[in-house]
Amino acid sequence: MTSEVLFPHQRELISDTLNCPVANGYGGRDSGFISHECPQGGMHIMADAMIVEIVDDQGRALPPGTVGQIVVTDLYSHEVPFLRYVTGDLGSIAEERCRCGRALPMLQSIEGRSNDSIVTPDGRTMNALAMVYPLRELSGIEQFRLCQQAPARFNVQIVRNGEFTPDAEERLRQRWTQLFRCSLEITFEYVASLPRDKSGKLRHVVSEVGHVPPPRVELN
C-alpha cells in the first residue's frame, strides 16, 4: 500500500512478520518518487531528478528544520515540466548529513497533507499529528478516523479490539483539551471497519473546517 504514513507500530509488525527490513518511500502521482529511506533511516531526496523546496503560506522559502509546504520541480519531464509544483504535503528539510555517507539532501520530516491539518477555535493551524499521537499511544485501537466538524467539535470513529479499556475516552478528552486550551465537544463511534477513499487511502484525519489555500509560488 502506498500514499499512507508508515507508523512505527506498523513498521515493526511488517518487519517481524516478513522477517525483513522495512523502508519508507515518498512521492506523488504527479511528481513521481521524491525521496527514499536508506538503511540508516535518512529520507534521501532524489536530487538528480528534482529540486525540493519548503515554503510558507506566501510561497517564501523556509530554512532547514522548519515545516512548510513541499514544492517540487521535476528535472526529467521535458514535455510537460512541473515548475515549483505545490504537492499539498507538509514537511521539512534536514540540515545535517546522513550517517550512511550519501551526500544527497534529506527530508527531515513528512507531516502529511496540508488540508488534513486542524484549525483551533483561537485561529491556530495545528498539525493533525498532534491529535493522532494520543490515539496511537492507546492499546486496543486497530484503526481510527478523526473528523473535525467545527473548530471545537469532533467525531472519532474507532475500530477496537479486546485490549481497549473503558477509560480510553476520558484520557483522550483530557489530552485534546490540554492541546486546544479550551473545552471540546467529542463524540466517539465504534465501528467494525473504516471505508477507504477512492484512491485506496485510509485517511486518519478529515477536517470540514475551512483552510488557507495552498500558496501560489512565483517564479523569480
Question: Over the stretch 10-55, which tens digit does the pLDDT of each residue have?
Answer: 888 899 999 999 988 988 877 788 999 999 999 999 999 999 999 9
Give residue 219's pLDDT. 58
Given a contact cutoff of 8 angstroms between Cβ atoms, the answer to whether 131 and 119 are in contact is no
Residue ranges of the chain that CATH labels 3.30.300.30: 117-207
> Parallel, antiparallel, or unpaired: how do β-strands 141-150 and 153-160 relate?
antiparallel
Rounded to an integer, what distance in angstroms lies between the CA atom of residue 213 and that of residue 185? Answer: 26
Give residue 40's pLDDT. 92
Q: If you average pLDDT over residues 110-119, what whole number do you get?
A: 72
The domain 117-207 having CATH identifier 3.30.300.30: the answer here is yes
Q: What percentage of the chain carries pLDDT values higher than 90?
A: 50
pLDDT digit string, tens, across residues 145-200? 999 999 999 999 999 999 999 899 999 999 999 999 899 999 999 999 998 877 66
Q: Tell me the Ramachandran region of residue 142: left when phi exceeds 0, alpha when psi lies from -120 to 50, beta otherwise.
A: alpha
Residue ranges of the chain that CATH labels 2.30.38.10: 8-115
Given pLDDT bands bounded at 50, 70 and 90, which one contains residue 115?
Answer: low
CATH of the domain spanning 8-115: 2.30.38.10
Q: If you average pLDDT over residues 67-75, what whole number do you get?
A: 90
- Whole-model pTM? 0.62
